[in-house]
Amino acid sequence: MAIEVCVKAAVGAPDVLGDCPFSQRVLLTLEEKNLPYKMHLINVSDKPKWFLDVNPEGKVPVMKSEDKWVPDSDVIVGIIEEKHPEPSLKTPPELASVGSKIFGSFVTFLKSKDANDGSEKALLDELKALDDHLKAHGPYVAGEKVTAVDLSLAPKLHHLEVALGHFKNWSVPESLSNVRNYMKALFSRESFEKTKAAKEYVIAGWAPKVNA
């Protein structure tokens, strides 16, 4: 039986997969494990009644597990790993938080209107830490194999690349070659190609926050 998941539909295109990195993380996990799934695209600005009935908080992603809809990508990915342990995507616990501050730093820098507020440096520091880690342990966070931490980072790094490229004409510096190679490797995976949001939808998703 296919697993049911609700994910964000694209802004202005309710029939197209949207730009939620947490939704993509769940889809990546299902793809990497070769699990059949049924995807419900949810228009987050006009949520269907059935969706709010089963998921009153209205957040995506949610996954149906034993007749209950479960929110939170961390929890969902944990359930998938537990029920379908092969192929394993488990990240060694000591590596689970590698790169975990990159997304927050990216959002702060993206929204920043002041070039001297330190937000760019904060992001560069986080990316440099990831680069150093990959240099020592790569090509992926836990070595040769993709694990859950990579599938969490991949959509966030995609957002970082697209949104900062568009709104700030900024890209990951050449000097951080390990991060750049890591992004290339993740973005070229079949699972990523199948589950990524198109650039224009990533941009449309961030525009209101940037212009706020």
- The angle subtended at Cα 47 by Cα 100 and Cα 57, nearest 5°, is 55
**How far, in Å, are 17, 40, 74, 174, 175 from residue 130 at the CA level?**
29, 34, 21, 14, 13
Please state, as a whole number, how many other Cβ atoms lie within 10 Å of the Cβ of residue 167: 16
Look up residue 199 and give its amino acid: K
> What's the rounded Cα separation, in Å, for the pair 150 and 154?
6
The dihedral built from the CA positions of residue 177, 178, 181 and 186, taken in this order, carries a sign that is negative
**How far, in Å, are 128, 137, 164 from residue 125 at the CA level?**
5, 18, 16
Residue 20 among the catalytic residues:
yes
Find the catalytic residue in 6, 20, 98, 146. 20
Point out the residues that are catalytic.
20
